[in-house]
């Protein structure tokens, strides 16, 4: 028989479920509707409901382009089965909901709160996937929360310079005059997460959590969102620690003017002008999404976060997240950051596994834009590290370092100049699926972090073999959320990251802290990328 649990929140009373002693609340509204006249507007508080609201099912994910069937029909889709959105519920632009797992209610336990920002760039995904189910992590005596928010054009279409009221003091995207105000439109998705953090501040004690000990964590696009929030004034004081997993965002894609031109192109594609912005709020999603696809094809590139991303608008975001330095707003926020060793094995495509020796150099140059001398040096340095590496092994390794690891290092280095500590990791475990083809690919640390390796059947046939590593990684994330330091008794000493030693914890079959792993190659890649 199902056991229920009840919670009193600022929005009203909720009914959740108890499963294996974990209290679970799904689909909790943290904001008002974002559909219709509220499309592109800043999030607003929801009016309280009457009676008891069920919180037993995941709420809708943000409406998005449906590319999941392509993934599921591929090896990568099978590998990451459980890491993708469960798709058990609907998709809607009315998507401001969160999910919560906790061991106790109203017990003043002051558990650390861990808020998951989901992956999927700024364009897709949701907080409802088997890998990021928070039950196992909550069993470590934390309150775990995952958040859905607006994505793609619904969350990041910058209309603030095309019409409506201009930016002004205290302007949060609303209007007291009744005139439409699109000031928040370019960062609406990020403001949604801020609204979720405000809900957590006001309600989390009911669920046994500590509103003064909140950790943001996210993988890939989720890590990028965490990076942006560290530079966002509206988020200041709402979280206290940050974890960025393979998702550094040093600077935003495109200037404010370029984001405005993108919005103009979308309007033209829809047959609208700036004078008719209000009509954009009422175009059916079935008509809006093909226009999004057209813009992706026209403006997108394969390694971007998507064309609709946060905007440096000078109001909600006034500085780049981590370029040229770490944001002063997060001066006292401890950071845990890292990447997987073989990120690009699931990101470059199947053809990359078949490149030849003759194709390696030109392919690497085409991907990275470096000159022949630089690319040749990188290849030589990697061959010194692994004499048995195939051309595809070298391409994947160098592309992983260039596109993801080097950015994580730059973010850690800039953050290390601030008072709060930084800790660096590299996930090195090789997934045995498909004869080990994908190794430690992008995103594969997520089920280890959440304690959900048993929910990752595509990675390995015998998840029990990896329980020890899972326990070490999950405990490190919990320790960091609790204290700001990921060290615990089952791991070797984990020193903070500093420029002179660059100590990095390798998380794999053997866990060890090493000084500046592959340092000569790291130096060569960073010198070319950040010159």
- Packing angle between helix 357-368 and helix 372-385, nearest 10 degrees? 120
Q: Is the separation of the CB atoms in 32 and 46 below 8 Å?
A: yes
Nearest-10 crossing angle of helices 391-400, 357-368: 10
Each residue's pLDDT tens digit, 7-29: 999 999 999 999 999 999 999 99
**pLDDT > 70 in the chain, percent:** 91
- pLDDT score recorded for residue 288: 81
Helices (H), 281-400: 285-299, 357-368, 372-385, 391-400
- What architecture is domain 335-529? 3-Layer(aba) Sandwich (3.40)
* Domains 3-245 and 335-529 in one fold: yes
Q: Which pairing describes strands 422-427 and 335-340: parallel, antiparallel, or unpaired?
A: parallel
Please compute the mean of the pLDDT values over residues 278-291 and round it to a whole number: 82
Tokens standing for residue 82:
């459980």
Domain 3-245 is found in CATH 2.30.40.10: no
Q: What is the pLDDT of residues 248-257, one digit of tens each?
A: 888 887 788 8
Helices (H), 86-240: 135-138, 152-156, 188-203, 221-229
Give residue-wise pLDDT tens across range 496-510. Answer: 999 999 999 999 998
- pTM of the model as a whole: 0.93
Q: What is the pLDDT of residues 92-108, one digit of tens each?
A: 889 999 999 999 999 99
Cα dihedral 69, 75, 80, 85 in deg (nearest 10): 0
Distances from the Cα of 294 to the Cαs of 163, 303, 311, in angstroms? Answer: 23, 17, 20
Listed by start position, the domains of the chain span 3-245, 335-529
- Residue 284: Cβ within 10 Å count: 7
Annotated catalytic residues are: 220
pLDDT exceeds cutoff 60 at 174: no
* Least confident among 43-57, 274-288, 289-303: 289-303
Confidence category of residue 50, pLDDT binned at 50, 70, 90 = very high
**Which sign, positive or negative, has the C-alpha torsion 181, 42, 331, 308?**
negative
């Amino acid at each position: 028989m199902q056991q229920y649990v009840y919670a009193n929140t600022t929005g009203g009373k909720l009914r959740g479920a108890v499963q294996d002693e974990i209290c679970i609340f799904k689909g909790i509204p943290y904001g008002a509707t974002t559909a219709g006249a509220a499309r592109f507007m800043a999030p607003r508080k929801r009016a309280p409901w009457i009676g008891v609201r069920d919180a037993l099912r995941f709420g809708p994910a943000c409406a998005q382009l449906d590319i999941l069937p392509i993934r599921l029909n591929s090896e990568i889709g099978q590998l990451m089965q459980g890491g993708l959105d469960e798709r058990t519920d609907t998709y809607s632009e009315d998507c401001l909901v969160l999910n919560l797992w906790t061991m106790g209610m109203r017990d003043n336990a002051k558990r650390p709160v861990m808020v998951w920002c989901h992956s999927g760039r700024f364009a897709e995904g949701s907080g409802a996937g088997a890998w990021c189910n928070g039950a196992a992590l909550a069993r470590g005596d934390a309150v775990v929360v995952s958040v859905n928010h607006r994505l793609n054009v619904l969350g990041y279409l910058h209309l603030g310079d095309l019409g409506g009221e201009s930016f002004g003091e205290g302007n949060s995207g609303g209007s007291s005059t009744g005139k439409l105000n699109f000031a928040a439109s370019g960062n609406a998705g990020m403001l949604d997460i801020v609204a979720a953090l405000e809900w957590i501040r006001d309600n989390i004690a009911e669920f046994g959590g500590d509103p003064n000990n909140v950790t943001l964590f996210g993988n890939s696009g989720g890590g990028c969102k965490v990076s942006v929030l560290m530079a966002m004034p509206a988020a200041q004081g709402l979280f206290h620690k940050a974890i960025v997993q393979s998702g550094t965002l040093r600077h935003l894609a495109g200037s404010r003017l370029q984001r405005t031109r993108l919005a103009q192109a979308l309007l033209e594609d829809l047959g609208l002008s700036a004078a008719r912005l209000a009509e954009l709020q009422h175009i059916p999603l079935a008509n809006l999404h093909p226009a999004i696809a057209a813009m992706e094809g026209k403006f997108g590139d394969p390694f971007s976060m998507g064309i609709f991303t946060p905007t440096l608008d000078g109001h909600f975001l006034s500085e780049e997240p981590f370029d040229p330095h770490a944001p002063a707003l997060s001066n006292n926020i401890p950071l845990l950051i890292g990447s997987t060793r073989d990120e690009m094995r699931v990101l470059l495509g199947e053809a990359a596994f078949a490149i030849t020796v003759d194709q390696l150099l030109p392919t690497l140059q085409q991907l990275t834009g470096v000159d022949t001398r630089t690319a040749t040096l990188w290849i030589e340095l990697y061959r010194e590290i692994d004499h048995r590496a195939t051309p595809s092994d070298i391409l994947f390794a160098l592309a992983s370092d260039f596109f993801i690891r080097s950015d994580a290092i730059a973010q850690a280095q800039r953050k290390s100049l601030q008072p709060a500590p930084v800790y660096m990791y590299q996930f090195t475990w090789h997934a045995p699926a498909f004869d080990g083809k994908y190794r430690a690919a992008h995103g594969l640390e997520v089920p280890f972090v959440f304690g959900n390796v048993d929910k990752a059947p595509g990675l390995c046939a015998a998840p029990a073999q990896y329980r020890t590593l899972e326990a070490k990684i999950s405990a490190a994330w919990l320790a960091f959320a609790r204290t700001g330091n990921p060290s615990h008794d089952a791991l070797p000493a984990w020193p903070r990251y500093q420029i002179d030693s660059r100590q990095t914890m390798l998380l794999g079959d053997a866990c060890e802290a090493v000084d500046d792993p592959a340092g000569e190659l790291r130096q060569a890649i960073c010198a070319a990328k950040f010159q």
